[in-house]
Amino acid sequence: MTEKSFFAGFGGQGIISLGQIWVYCAMQEGKNVTFFPFYGAEKRGGIARASVIVSDGEIASPLVTVPDSALVMNADSLPLCEEILKQGGLMLVNASLVKDEPKRQDLRVVKIEASGLAEKIGNVRFANMVALGAMARLTGALSLGEVETILTKFFPPDKHKFVPLNVEAIRTGYTAATPETR
């Protein structure tokens, strides 16, 4: 199994953190990974993207030029993700913020209210973790069986108080994601 994913949104949505946690979970599950973040110079509101590869085998090239899956966290990211996603690829859309439909008809589009679900949990800033759970279920790249233990290792001790909310957000996203298309 090799899954090449592209995560896109704006600064402040936790796209880079999502990519870091995604590959850390995969490493803890014994998989090989690559991670390339990209973000604008702005502190918040600029572009934020991360490309990741998770594989059971060796990774020949760390670049993700044609992803198998893409996460679209804001409306401005839709055209880019639509352009680079492979034919028949998975596009997970944060329907809370993205109202437009992709123009390509060959994509497997799944919509979840990532921001809305995060608000129900208690903080919209956990929308990235809702998306992580949904992407894990839809791609099969992560099992997330030991996600609480993994997050406890990932976060420094002063952030451990946020682990339960992160786990809840991930499980909410996992449950919300169904393989239905448009």
Domains and CATH numbers, the chain: 2-176 (3.40.920.10)
Q: Region 31-58: what's the mean pLDDT?
A: 89
C-alpha span between 4 and 110 (Å, rounded)? 17
pTM: 0.93
Hey, what amino acid is at 80?
A: L
Residue 181 in this model has a pLDDT that exceeds 60: no
The answer to whether 43 touches 109, Cβ cutoff 8 Å, is: no
Contact indicator for 97, 111 with CB cutoff of 8 Å: no
What are the pLDDT digits (tens) for 144-162?
Answer: 889 999 999 999 999 999 9
pLDDT digit string, tens, across residues 26-43 = 999 999 999 999 987 766
Instruction: Read off the tokens for 122.
Output: 């208690």
Residue 85 contacts residue 91 (beta carbons within 8 Å): yes
